[in-house]
A and B are shown apart, each in its own frame.
Chain A
């Protein structure tokens, strides 16, 4: 029996559609494999996976949620960047404007703030899950080390972002934080100066933290995440019972 061609059939059968999407509707194993293999974003996954690796109560989605929060932070962060000038004269007023005048500004800021806190927690919990399931054992030793570096970068991302609102909470938290770094034996004064770009927290500190926060550290994080995800696959997918 021949089915009549619907509008959907015409669209998915057109030359334009077929030039973009190189697989049919994923109701056959062949198309389910193609959809993973032919999409650059889904291609992070293998076509098939061990059944236990899909169990939510094994990973609690913590690694995935950390990555997802990184994406949320990138998007809300870019939107906030349109309204924020990293100048000690303007930053605080920009924050007030984002909260009161910018459409959905307060929502963007809240999502950015709570995701930042959430990401620190999620990354820490993800590390604990990986540890308690013994997933750092060979051949995954190096990926564990990359994970520890990602934990440090997450802390630094959150810490550098903390100064940007330029309110009392930010200013004094970073004062205390950079004093902790400045207590390093032998190099303490230099570390504090390196962090602040000055002897006290001011414009030099703000532009340093801003640059680290919006471009340098995200690039480092993206680089390490690329290694981290790639190694998961090279080391045989996520760990599971032997």
Chain B
């Protein structure tokens, strides 16, 4: 600009005083002072606008529930018998993700420490990500939605890879421990806490770290977008492990196709 002004003096351009010249340092995101529609001010009466939505959705849901309950009976198997253990024995489906973890590592780590840490981290989200940007927009932004897609793919690939590694990497042993590689550590004579606690913890931290590193490199995320990646990873892991537990674990918790499972676990 300054050069341009100096090249063409006297043609409507005033020479710029170098001492007063301003440079563009940074673009800062902010809220525009004037907004096309002021959503915050646009109000409706709860009766009827909201009450109708509630009544209709409750009615539709109730009809669906009654229809389902007429058509499909809740399971009732034989009377409880402490002397007859079914194979496989499975927890309720929403805990099968923990039971799946249990196959790969120390029971205390899988069943108590990891869920406790996960719930604590979940509760701590709002104290970590406090910026008001993106509130009210699903996925936060277009970039946020791309990060969600990327994380889902990453989690599916990594969780399948870990489960398969544990199933098929068998080095002179048969127990599933520490995603396959734990077996190698066990054969080397390391104590149990190394191959069933430290090593699996390391693998999990590496998987989370890998996600964070990849998202940082690909997307240059804000803190909110990084939290989106972590939360999406949590939900996708929960779903994937639940799927493994419900649909792909047969007798003795061996990998099985869903259609080969015993009937009551369908």
Contact = CB atoms under 8 A, between A and B. Distances in A.
Interface stretch (B15-23, B38-46, B169-177, B198-206): B38-46
Contacts of A54: 44, 49-50, 53
Contacts of B99: 176, 180
B47 A42 contact: yes
Given A54-B53, A133-B137, A115 B65 contact: yes
B102 A180 contact: yes
A137 interface: yes
A200 B131 CA distance: 50
Contact of A169 (B70, B75, B134): B75
B48 A26 contact: yes
A134 B224 contact: yes
Chain B: interface secondary structure? Answer: helix
Interface in B15-68: 31, 39-40, 42-51, 53-54, 57-58, 61-62, 65-66, 68
Contact of B77 (A68, A152, A168, A176): A168
A92 B79 contact: yes
Contacts of B78: 167-168
Contacts of A158: 92, 94
Interface residues of A, number: 87
B117 interface: no
A134 B137 contact: yes
Nearest to B47: A32
A33 B44 CA distance: 11
Interface stretch (A8-16, A104-112, A208-216, A217-225): A104-112
Interface in A87-133: 88, 92, 95-96, 99, 106-107, 109-115, 117-118, 120, 124, 128, 131-133
A180 B50 contact: no
A7 interface: no
B136 A168 contact: no
Contacts of B148: 132
Contacts of B108: 183-185, 188
Contacts of B31: 242
Contact of B48 (A32, A115, A168, A200): A32
Interface of A: 26, 29, 32-33, 35-36, 42, 45-54, 56, 58, 61, 64-65, 68, 72, 88, 92, 95-96, 99, 106-107, 109-115, 117-118, 120, 124, 128, 131-138, 140-141, 144-145, 148-149, 152, 155, 158-159, 162, 165-173, 175-177, 179-181, 183-185, 188, 200-201, 239-242
Interface of B: 31, 39-40, 42-51, 53-54, 57-58, 61-62, 65-66, 68-70, 72-82, 84-86, 89-95, 98-99, 102, 106-108, 110-113, 119, 122-123, 125-127, 129-140, 148, 224, 228, 231, 235, 238, 264
11 contacts: A32-B48, A33-B45, A48-B44, A68-B58, A114-B72, A131-B231, A137-B130, A140-B126, A177-B92, A180-B91, A200-B82
Closest 8 CB pairs of A and B: A183-B107, A141-B126, A110-B69, A171-B80, A113-B74, A180-B111, A241-B136, A184-B112
